[in-house]
């Protein structure tokens, strides 16, 4: 596969999101380490731009999301939250939920590399990613009730879906942190690695998906799982059947089965 590379940097008032592509894999980095990468209004918009551009990209095979410094993301910028009235809060919630929905439905596997805190909005951002790799010192939390608030970027739906209601409510009501090891036990993360290694492991996983998996089949799996989770069982199974059948009209499916029979590595083209 041909390797392409370009680099973009979005910066507004020293609050930034970095974006880079190499060989079909995109790297998104929250770059506000002095505030533990706390999310501002501007950063939500920047991330929305990034994932709007990702959607529908046939040449992009995976995305890695990480934070600069020792923390993934400590949540929303509290100073900004303090300025909100009810209407502003509604708008902020809609923007955050729209971003997380865009990540989940972008059609490209998104892998979160999590070190340190994934708290509040940062936890919700991680939950919207399809796969999660955590440093052993990482933790997840939804501490909004100690601020008189609740999670508002989809956390009340996605955390129970990932861990079950009991663990999710404990995190929300009692401000219990979910450690990396507990997250692995609960199925919230795919892998726990030594401190500082999550970004490298996430890149390794992204590279494996990019180099080995058929891109159309990957997209179909993502759609079957993310859309299917919102459907009754019978409708979800019908969606699976349609996606499965649709792949048989693609060259990639013919190439994959032919390569298996010929005992060689397939060359997928995404068509």
Tell me how far apart the alpha carbons of residues 82 and 86 are, in angstroms, rounded to a whole number. Answer: 11
Instruction: Specify whether 255 is catalytic.
Output: no
Tell me how far apart the alpha carbons of residues 266 and 260 are, in angstroms, rounded to a whole number. Answer: 8
Instruction: Specify whether 124 is catalytic.
Output: yes
Q: Of 21, 144, 223, 242, which is the active-site residue?
A: 144
Closest C-alpha among 165, 162, 170, 209 to residue 189: 162
Residue 4, classed as helix, strand or coil, is coil
- What φ, ψ does residue 105 adopt, rounded to 5°? -110, 15
Q: Of 21, 124, 204, 240, which is the active-site residue?
A: 124
Tell me how far apart the alpha carbons of residues 66 and 27 are, in angstroms, rounded to a whole number. Answer: 8
- What φ, ψ does residue 109 adopt, rounded to 5°? -60, 125
Catalytic residue numbers read: 124, 144
């Amino acid at each position: 596969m041909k390797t392409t590379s370009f680099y973009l940097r979005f910066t507004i008032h020293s609050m930034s999101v970095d974006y880079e592509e190499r060989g079909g894999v995109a790297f998104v980095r929250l770059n506000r380490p002095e505030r533990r990468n706390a999310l501002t209004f501007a950063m939500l918009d920047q991330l929305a731009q990034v994932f709007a551009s990702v959607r529908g990209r046939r040449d992009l095979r995976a995305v890695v999301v990480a934070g600069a410094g020792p923390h993934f993301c400590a949540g929303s910028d509290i100073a900004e939250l303090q300025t909100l009235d009810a209407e502003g809060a509604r708008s902020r919630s809609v923007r955050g939920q729209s971003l997380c929905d865009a990540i989940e439905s972008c059609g490209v596997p998104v892998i979160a590399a999590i070190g340190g805190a994934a708290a509040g909005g940062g936890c919700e951002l991680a939950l919207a990613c399809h796969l999660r790799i955590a440093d052993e010192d990482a933790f997840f939390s939804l501490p909004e009730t100690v601020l008189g608030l609740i999670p508002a970027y989809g956390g009340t739906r996605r955390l129970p879906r990932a861990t079950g209601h009991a663990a999710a409510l404990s995190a929300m009501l009692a401000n219990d942190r979910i450690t990396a090891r507990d997250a692995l036990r609960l199925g919230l993360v795919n892998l726990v690695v030594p401190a500082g290694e999550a970004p490298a492991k996430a890149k390794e996983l992204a590279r494996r998906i990019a180099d080995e998996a058929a891109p159309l089949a990957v997209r179909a799996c993502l759609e079957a799982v993310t859309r299917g989770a919102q459907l009754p069982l019978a409708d979800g199974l019908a969606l699976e059947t349609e996606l499965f059948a649709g792949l048989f009209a693609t060259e990639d499916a013919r190439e994959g089965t032919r390569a298996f029979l010929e005992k060689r590595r397939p060359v997928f083209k995404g068509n």
